[in-house]
Amino acid sequence: MRAFILNAAHMNRFAYFFVSLAFVSAAGAQSVKLDIPYSEPADELRKLDVYAPENAKNLPVLFWIHGEGWQGGDKKEARVKPKAFVEKGYVFVSINYRLLPKVDMRTIVRDVAESMRWVHEHIAEYGGDPDRILVMGHSAGAQLAALICTDDRYLKAEGLNLSIIKGCIPVDGDTYDIPLEIATTSARRKALGQPEPKFGHYEKFGGDPAKHRDFSAVNHVSRGKGVPPFLLLYVADHPDTSAQAKRLASVLTEAGVPAKLFGAQNSEHSKLNDDLGLSDDPATKAMFEFADKLMKK
């Protein structure tokens, strides 16, 4: 008898297949398209997934950016969010991007902008409205979401502008003001007698204070620029992510950009993300109240 051995690539394909089946059976008739390339030549990490209601047409779009330290994570780890948003009448897009240390931070942000260009050009084919995009990301993805929604250079390089983005929901990010976070955590480690990490924020963002400032969303907010409204979700008792959320909200408010804060109680970094989309989750309620108000036509 011939042995049948599945390698990792085959296992991943089967995993995607069964995830798709589970999604369709659990939430009704829906369209799920996985591993769509958004760049040429095709790259394993420059792909995205699209979840849409069956027969969708001209629906608002949720653009999701995963986290995990700019070094890991995957678009398929969106948890219950695709199902929740599709049931609310959205097209849900989850993207991958290349990772540190194989590429630098600027390349990662450019990947995000390139994937958004693909969405703007093609999402109508999947039932989405290319001019009603809501950007959202967790952790490292929160930094990328906040930056792409404030530093318009990346979208302009793709022939786009901030007007296509109707709102931004960063989730528990700690790097909207990178120099502040580096200084805060460095002082804490020094007080506790802990060593500096070998590949921490200082190195990830280029090892250069000028780059640290340039990758900080707080330094790209200005009045009349077209920066969209923000809802900043964070763990209420986390000292770093709560401080960073309040810092960005303050900068946005000073520039006349609507900004709301929601601190999740009895939660933590991963749980806040995992629970988004659950019907009894307070942060989910705040998320949909913010999103639905902005995305109405």
If phi > 0 it is left, if psi is from -120 to 50 it is alpha, else beta; for residue 115 that is alpha
- Relative to beta strand 47-53, strand 91-95 is antiparallel
pLDDT at 15: 41
pLDDT of amino acid 2: 34
What are the strands, taking DSSP E only, across the chain?
A: 30-37, 47-53, 59-65, 91-95, 128-138, 165-171, 230-235, 259-264
Cα(63)–Cα(92) distance, rounded to whole angstroms? 6
Architecture of the domain whose range is 30-295: 3-Layer(aba) Sandwich (3.40)
Q: Tell the burial category of 8 from Cβ atoms under 10 Å away from its Cβ (0-12, 13-18, 19+).
A: exposed
CB atoms within 10 A of CB 12: 14
Q: Cβ atoms within 10 A of the Cβ of 219, count? A: 18
Q: How far apart are the C-alpha atoms of 242 and 262, rounded to whole Å?
A: 9
Q: Please identify which residue in the block is written with the tokens 């590949």.
A: 199
Q: 27-49: b or e for each residue (b if 16 or more CB lie within 10 Å)?
A: beebbbebeeebbeeeeebbbbb
Tell me what pLDDT residue 42 has: 82
Mean pLDDT of the chain: 92
pLDDT for res 160: 98
Which regions in the chain score pLDDT beneath 50?
1-27
**Cα angle, residue 110 at apex, residues 107 and 112 outer, rounded to 5°:** 115
CB of 171 within 8 A of CB of 276?
Answer: yes
| Neighbour-count burial of 200, counting CB atoms closer than 10 A to its CB (0-12 exposed, 13-18 middle, 19+ buried) | middle
